[in-house]
Structure 1
Amino acid sequence: MGIQTVSIIGLGALGIMYGQHFSKRLPKGNVRIIADTERIKKYKKDSIYCNGEQCDFHYVTPDEQVTPADLLLFTVKFDGLDGALESVKHHVGENTIILSALNGIISEELIGEVYGHDKLLYCVAQGMDAVKVGNKLTYEHKGKLVFGDKVPGIISDKTKSVSEFFNKVELPHEVDTNMSKRLWGKFMLNVGVNQTVAVYKSNYGTIQNEGEARNTMIAAMREVIALSEKEEIFLSEKDLNYWLNVLSTLSPEGKPSMAQDVEAKRKSELELFAGTVLKFGIKYGIPTPVNRMLYDQINAIESKY
């Protein structure tokens, strides 16, 4: 029968965007948004809007007994992953396929340790320019989910099943047979874009055009390239240019998640980006001065909240 039911944990920008997409193409009960009781009350009271349209989501609490999902999608922030791992326990069964759209390069390992690496496909969300303010999400470009197997060079039945489902529900996607490199490539982009736009308190337009901010972004990304060689991922200038081309397609007025966090005076995913780069730099004895500068500046911004 293929994939019939989808559960989503995390109703940030990606959770709303994908939740709305699936909800408009599947029976209401087949798309489940997992949230605690207080959050559900707030969502129902204030409503959630996606590009001006009110979302009609089917909510379930973590304690609710449900049939395990065919597909489980993690769209929480990294600091919410531990809680999310507990909240989804009733949604994971023998045949559940799990995708993580979290930033960074370690969420799959953490999820796999709890629910089994055999259930996971590696995944990155790229090319979207979604901006969430309060209960309202807006975007021009939905981007795509890129996914595949941990082992390079294969396309498993799980990957084929997800691709067939995404074709059925018309969700933009791509299958990649070298997902470790793709994850590191997206990590490289986030290290550059998220942090630079946050420090310059700007938007995508600032780093799409030549100037100091774009130079800072690219320098931060090149530090990731140097580290990737030590991890035998071997990112290159070709990969950097690929991600710069992805960046060029985004709405200039859009903002990455870290810039949105800074504006809202929320704790950002700094440790996931520059924090990770600095740790790898120490591990391999490779200088990472640009990421050190970004780390210090964002820390200073957050200390004033």
Structure 2
Amino acid sequence: MNIVILGPGAIGSLYAYHLDQAGHSVSVWGSRHDQYHEFSLDNQSAISLVNRSLSHLEQCELLIITLKAWQVETAITPLLDALANDTIILFLHNGMGCVDLVAEQLQGHPILLGTSTHGALKRDRHHIEHTGRGQTLIGAWNQQGERCQFVSDVMHHAFAECGWTNSIQSALWQKLAINCAINPLTALHRCRNGDLGTPHFETELSAIISEVHQVMQAERIDLPLAALTETVQTVLKATAANFSSMQQDIEHQRKSEIEFITGYVLKIAKHHHIEVPNNQRLYCAIKDIESSWSNHE
């Protein structure tokens, strides 16, 4: 397939590398204006992919979006006119709510949503490290997307495990709950994921997860609270040595994805008239930190 990766950061480059090695025609569209995106993955040989090619965009059959959630609307809007009407668009990013912002502009395109539990780290411009092996789940956002189940087979062949799900919203909400539990706390306490597994955070974690679970129930996501709690604990143990993406963003004074993680929960909770004070507090704390940077400039 002719594939373009919009957002060749750590995760985007991880997928780009494997898809290229599987024989697909892969290019990237990044914020830098370099003609090529050259990088290596772990100890493997370096590859060079074309960057920001309009002709590649016009021939694109699958556009994979691996940006930060807050970057999606601004980045994809200028590219839509160049895409063919039947170009498949796969949103593969943290958080929820991005597609809603550009829904009208995407009419006619097959739209897929995905979630990944892979971990990747950009050591520098030219070196990507695969820090945690996981899986990719893909599902349809619209009716046209329902005919594109083969994309999961393409992805699986290049980078197993990848599967198709008819309940992608459930998978996305589970990932959102994990992010709500881990990301803001690790950012505020400047700690690794595993530190949240200590008794000190037990009560707070439980309250956060319980609130998100209430919102999930209102959204008709059928998952027992005990199962959701166990999932969060499993992720904490599996990624114990890792720093969350939000922790790294706050540490380096970069805009975080809080608006599309905890902020999305707050938005849906308000719609259902559900009180979520613990998540509200974390949201405000992260927003206060971000606003303090601009105040000091």
Does the C-alpha gap of structure 1 residues 216 and 17 become closer, same or farther in structure 2, counting only changes over 3 Å?
farther
Q: TM-score, normalised by structure 1?
A: 0.83
| Counterpart pick for 2:129 among 135, 138, 144 | 138
- 2:148 is paired with a residue whose SS is helix
Q: Deviations 1:65-87 (Å, cap 9, x if unpaired)? A: 64432221000112211222134
- C-alpha distance in 2 between matches for 1:198 and 1:129: 17
| Counterpart pick for 2:2 among 1, 5, 15 | 5
- Kept after mapping to 2: 8 A contact 1:73/1:99: yes
- C-alpha distance in 1 between matches for 2:202 and 2:12: 29
Q: TM-score, normalised by structure 2?
A: 0.85
Counterpart residue number, 1:96: 87
- C-alpha distance in 1 between matches for 2:277 and 2:108: 35
List runs of 5+ in structure 2 lacking aligned partners. none
Equivalent residues in 2 for 1:180-219, closer than 5 Å: 180-207=169-196, 209-219=197-207
1:103 Cα deviation from its structure 2 partner? 1.8
- C-alpha distance in 1 between matches for 2:200 and 2:133: 28
- Kept after mapping to 2: 8 A contact 1:62/1:87: no
Counterpart residue number, 1:275: 263
| Counterpart pick for 1:148 among 114, 139, 162 | 139
- C-alpha distance in 2 between matches for 1:5 and 1:65: 8
1:42 Cα deviation from its structure 2 partner? 9.3
- C-alpha distance in 2 between matches for 1:199 and 1:276: 19
- C-alpha distance in 1 between matches for 2:203 and 2:120: 24
- When structure 1 is superposed on structure 2, of 247-256 and 260-269 the one drifting more is 247-256
Aligned residues: 291
- Kept after mapping to 2: 8 A contact 1:33/1:58: yes
- C-alpha distance in 2 between matches for 1:246 and 1:139: 19
Equivalent residues in 2 for 1:34-183, closer than 5 Å: 34-36=29-31, 39-41=32-34, 48-51=39-42, 53=44, 55-61=46-52, 63-64=54-55, 66-89=57-80, 92-116=83-107, 119-126=110-117, 128-135=118-125, 136-150=127-141, 156-159=146-149, 161-183=150-172
Equivalent residues in 2 for 1:16-27, closer than 5 Å: 16-26=13-23
- C-alpha distance in 2 between matches for 1:244 and 1:144: 16
- C-alpha distance in 2 between matches for 1:225 and 1:117: 33
Counterpart residue number, 2:232: 244
- C-alpha distance in 1 between matches for 2:158 and 2:286: 39
- C-alpha distance in 2 between matches for 1:217 and 1:304: 26
The ranges of structure 1 where at least 4 consecutive aligned residues each deviate by more than 6 angstroms after the TM superposition are none
- One-letter code of the match for 2:120? A
Identity, in percent, stands at: 23
Does the C-alpha gap of structure 1 residues 235 and 281 become closer, same or farther in structure 2, counting only changes over 3 Å?
same
- C-alpha distance in 2 between matches for 1:91 and 1:49: 29
1:122 Cα deviation from its structure 2 partner? 2.4
Q: Deviations 1:84-126 (Å, cap 9, x if unpaired)? A: 2134336632332221112222223344432226501221112
- Kept after mapping to 2: 8 A contact 1:129/1:139: yes
- One-letter code of the match for 1:105? M
- C-alpha distance in 1 between matches for 2:166 and 2:261: 24
Does the C-alpha gap of structure 1 residues 150 and 263 become closer, same or farther in structure 2, counting only changes over 3 Å?
same
- C-alpha distance in 1 between matches for 2:224 and 2:234: 16
- Kept after mapping to 2: 8 A contact 1:64/1:90: no
